[in-house]
Amino acid sequence: MSKKAIILISFFVVLSAGFLGYAGYVIKGETGTFFGKDKLPVLGAPGHTVPGFSFTDQDGHTKAKADVEGKIYVSEFFFTTCTGICPKMNANMDKVYAKYKDNPNFLILSHTVDPEHDSVPVLKAYAAKHGADSKNWWFLTGDKKQLYRMARQAYLVDDGVYTGEEDFVHTQWFALVDKTGQIRGLYEGTKNQDVNKLIEDIDRLMEE
């Protein structure tokens, strides 16, 4: 092989490597990975994030937005006397908790939609049935109007409008929230395939 041919081949090898490297860089900028795997979408209106809140957990401790900052978490809404969708939802949430309970950067926030009944002691007993440690699975109660506003306007798991004391939220949706407070996915908590997808997406968020 002539010297000229060797130089030309070397040039095209270097050029190709450079092109592939640049293409990978562009793909990473668009999707978050050199392999072109899409990032999870950001849901809600542009700039939407979970606003401030103040609720009480099963230990009687106040939990606020500052306590979730920098953490990935799943939010749900349920009530302890529910005999319909809630038992299935929280049986599935047990699977999520089992996988991430030792991860200090992950939380589950389970909000009651029946704060008149679901007092701190009631939530404490319910949490115990699920083997939930309050360090990373919070069962939250508080002002009913604020709870409902969070379900509808913050976590996007219900499309209703608060209509007063007779209003009631009953939703099967789990919301996945990233470290900056953005909603990155909604999943039907009663469906095994959705919960499996939630677990996969939590893993993806952990890598972002």
Return the residue matching tokens 């996988």. Answer: 99
What long-range pairs does 115-118 form, CB within 8 A, spacing at least 24?
115/141, 115/142, 115/143, 115/144, 115/147, 116/144, 117/79, 117/80, 117/81, 118/79, 118/80
Q: Give the pTM.
A: 0.82
Kindly give the interhelix angle for 86-100 and 192-207, rounded to the nearest 10 degrees: 30
As a whole number of angstroms, the distance between CA 190 and CA 151 comes to 17
Q: Percent of the chain having pLDDT more than 70?
A: 82
Query: Phi, psi at residue 156, to the nearest 5°?
Result: 65, 30
As a whole number of angstroms, the distance between CA 185 and CA 38 comes to 13
User: Which tokens belong to 13?
Assistant: 């090898």
Tell me the pLDDT tens digit for each residue of 152-204: 999 999 988 888 778 899 999 999 999 999 999 999 999 999 999 999 999 99
Return the residue matching tokens 């209509």. Answer: 163
Single out the residue of 42, 32, 37 nearest to residue 186, CA to CA. Answer: 42
Residue 22: its pLDDT value, please?
39
pLDDT at 32 exceeding the cut of 90: no
Tell me the pLDDT tens digit for each residue of 113-130: 999 999 999 999 999 999
Residue 50: its pLDDT value, please?
98
